[in-house]
Amino acid sequence: MTYYSGRHFLQLPGPTNTPARVLRAMSKATIDHRGPAFAELTHRLLDGARRLFRTEHDVFIHPASGSGAWEAAIVNTLSKGDRVVSFEQGFFAQSWAKVAGRFGIEVMQVDWNPRIGVTPDAVLEQLDSDSSIKAILVVHNETSTGVTTDIESIGRAMRASGHEAMLFVDAVSSLAVTDLQHDAWGIDVTVTGSQKGMMLPPGLSLLAASPRAMQAHATATLPRSYWDWDDQKAFNERGFFPYTPATNLLFGMEEALAMLDEEGMENVFARHDLFGRATRAAVRAWGLDMVALNEREASRAATAVLVPDGHDADAVRRVILDRFDMSLGTGLGPFKGKAFRIGHLGDLNALQLVGTLAGVEMGLRLSGVPCETDGVVAAMEILMEGATV
Ligand SMILES: *Cc1c(COP(=O)(O)O)cnc(C)c1O
């Protein structure tokens, strides 16, 4: 028997569930993107983006997915032959490095255990070995593994080292999920996408750029057109874009920013922290392992669950989709077939999380994966601590 009534559970680590308020905001009629109402909207959104990134400097909004922001970060600040460092944190870190490589950037790939976060010492070791490094590329929350890297410590170590390298951070699945402070942490370029913590459909990429990144931009020579920050800034200052922007997504963004403001960012972060802990309590109670080795580094956005040898993680996902109409994330890269990922970010409350975990528990049992049956109970114990959600 399959039950298809009610809401589909989109428990991927992105795209996430879009709140009804955001969908309604986006269903307004499209307006003139060169008119006065639009200019006011643009200014409000750029201010909102600055608050999200915790920056007082330049922010950019492009119609694109997160990968577009990766490209924008590179073509705006680097030149052919420049050297950057990337750690083998997982699928997304390596995909960003690949984009850089395609533009003729020399990427120094550092062998890294994807089950742990990048350490400041590892970054310093690279910087010590080469004074010509232009940028360090780090993923804040590697969505393929559910491992978070301590960006604040890396930023501090880089500044203390006196090395000139810029710090580029992929915050696609961490912004509006966990604390990130572009200015205070010394980040030069932060990139994100709309479809994860921001609760929007896919289609917007956002970036924050430090004054140092803007200086690098002034002399960087990679070819760029659509992503060019000079064009973008010149138009943005007047409230417009150099091209037709994704107007209705921008309506949605304004509503999502209002929702985040109403909840309060501290509460948003605390909610995601609680949901991450509840999910991991469930996984431990099932007797299964996670890709993330250390609780301290475990993601507030997503949990990658390993299935025992001889079992197929994608078969578990298929059963859950067929029987309970819930989508989970597939294993990526080396974790294909070995792990599935539970997204617990974005527009989600405690009861939706309990439903999600119940679906996973039933799916594991129906697929014949050996597991204990008290995962949901363990999660509920954690959720009862969180009085505000
Ligand atoms: C989702 C994601 C991206 C970007 O993916 P798009 O599909 O291009 O939006 C990049 N990095 C991380 C860490 C992600 O989670």
Nearest CA to ligand 1 atom 12: 172
pLDDT tops 60 at residue 388: no
What's the mean pLDDT in 27-42? Answer: 97
Predicted pLDDT at 116 = 98
Nearest by Cα to 385 from 245, 236, 274: 274
Q: What angle do helix axes 247-263 and 36-53 make, rounded to 10 degrees?
A: 50
State the distance from the centre of ligand 1 to the C-alpha of 374, rounded, in angstroms.
Answer: 33
pLDDT tops 50 at residue 256: yes
Q: Assign domain 265-385 one CATH number from 3.90.1150.10, 1.10.3720.10, 3.40.640.10, 3.30.70.1450.
A: 3.90.1150.10
pTM here is 0.97
State the distance from the centre of ligand 1 to the C-alpha of 326, rounded, in angstroms.
Answer: 21
Query: How does pLDDT run across 39-55, given as a tens digit for each residue?
Result: 999 999 999 999 999 99
The CATH number that domain 20-261 falls under is 3.40.640.10
If one residue of 86, 170, 345 were mutated to test the ligand 1 pocket, choosing by the most ligand atoms within 8 A of its CB, it would be 170
Non-local CB neighbours of 266 within 8 Å, separated by 6+ positions: none
Q: What angle do helix axes 350-366 and 265-286 make, rounded to 10 degrees?
A: 20
What's the mean pLDDT in 72-86? Answer: 98
Nearest by Cα to 134 from 229, 55, 217: 217
Measured between alpha carbons, how far is 110 from 314 in angstroms, rounded to an integer?
Answer: 29
Measured between alpha carbons, how far is 176 from 71 in angstroms, rounded to an integer?
Answer: 22
What percent of the chain clears pLDDT 90, i.e. is strictly above it? 97
Q: Which part of the chain has CATH 3.40.640.10?
A: 20-261
pLDDT tops 90 at residue 145: yes
Q: 86-89 — which CB contacts under 8 Å span 24+ positions?
A: 86/110, 86/137, 87/112, 87/118, 87/122, 87/138, 88/112, 88/114, 89/114, 89/117, 89/118, 89/138, 89/139, 89/142, 89/145, 89/147, 89/149
Peptide bond into 15 cis (omega under 30): yes
| Residues forming beta bridges with residue 189, ordered by sequence position | 168, 209
pLDDT band at 215 (very low <50, low <70, confident <90, very high): very high
State the distance from the centre of ligand 1 to the C-alpha of 301, rounded, in angstroms.
Answer: 13
State the distance from the centre of ligand 1 to the C-alpha of 365, rounded, in angstroms.
Answer: 31
State the distance from the centre of ligand 1 to the C-alpha of 92, rounded, in angstroms.
Answer: 7
pLDDT tops 70 at residue 3: no
State the distance from the centre of ligand 1 to the C-alpha of 332, rounded, in angstroms.
Answer: 12
Predicted pLDDT at 389 = 46
Measured between alpha carbons, how far is 45 from 209 in angstroms, rounded to an integer?
Answer: 16
pLDDT band at 357 (very low <50, low <70, confident <90, very high): very high
Query: How does pLDDT run across 182-211, given as a tens digit for each residue?
Result: 999 999 999 999 999 999 999 999 999 999
What's the mean pLDDT in 71-93? Answer: 98
Atom number, ligand 1, closest to the C-alpha of residue 193: 9
State the distance from the centre of ligand 1 to the C-alpha of 35, rounded, in angstroms.
Answer: 32
As a whole number of Å, the end-to-end CA separation of the chain is 33
Atom number, ligand 1, closest to the C-alpha of residue 139: 13
Nearest CA to ligand 1 atom 14: 172
pLDDT band at 163 (very low <50, low <70, confident <90, very high): very high
Nearest by Cα to 73 from 216, 269, 277: 216
If one residue of 16, 143, 191, 195 were mutated to test the ligand 1 pocket, choosing by the most ligand atoms within 8 A of its CB, it would be 143
Measured between alpha carbons, how far is 121 from 142 in angstroms, rounded to an integer?
Answer: 19
Q: Which part of the chain has CATH 3.90.1150.10?
A: 265-385
Strands 141-142 and 58-63: unpaired
Atom number, ligand 1, closest to the C-alpha of residue 67: 8
What's the mean pLDDT in 301-323? Answer: 97
Predicted pLDDT at 1 = 55
State the distance from the centre of ligand 1 to the C-alpha of 172, rounded, in angstroms.
Answer: 6
Residues 75, 76, 79: CA angle, nearest 5 degrees:
60
Ligand 1, residues at Cβ distance < 6 Å? 14, 65-67, 92, 139, 143, 170, 172-173, 193
Query: Which letter, b or e, does each residue of 99-119 get, where b requires 16 or more Cβ atoms within 10 Å of its Cβ?
Result: bbeebebebeebebebbbbbb
If one residue of 12, 16, 62, 65 were mutated to test the ligand 1 pocket, choosing by the most ligand atoms within 8 A of its CB, it would be 65
Query: How does pLDDT run across 95-108, given as a tens digit for each residue?
Result: 999 999 999 999 99
Query: How does pLDDT run across 263-286, given as a tens digit for each residue?
Result: 999 999 999 999 999 999 999 999
Predicted pLDDT at 281 = 98
pLDDT band at 2 (very low <50, low <70, confident <90, very high): low
State the distance from the centre of ligand 1 to the C-alpha of 207, rounded, in angstroms.
Answer: 13
pLDDT tops 80 at residue 351: yes
Measured between alpha carbons, how far is 156 from 51 in angstroms, rounded to an integer?
Answer: 21
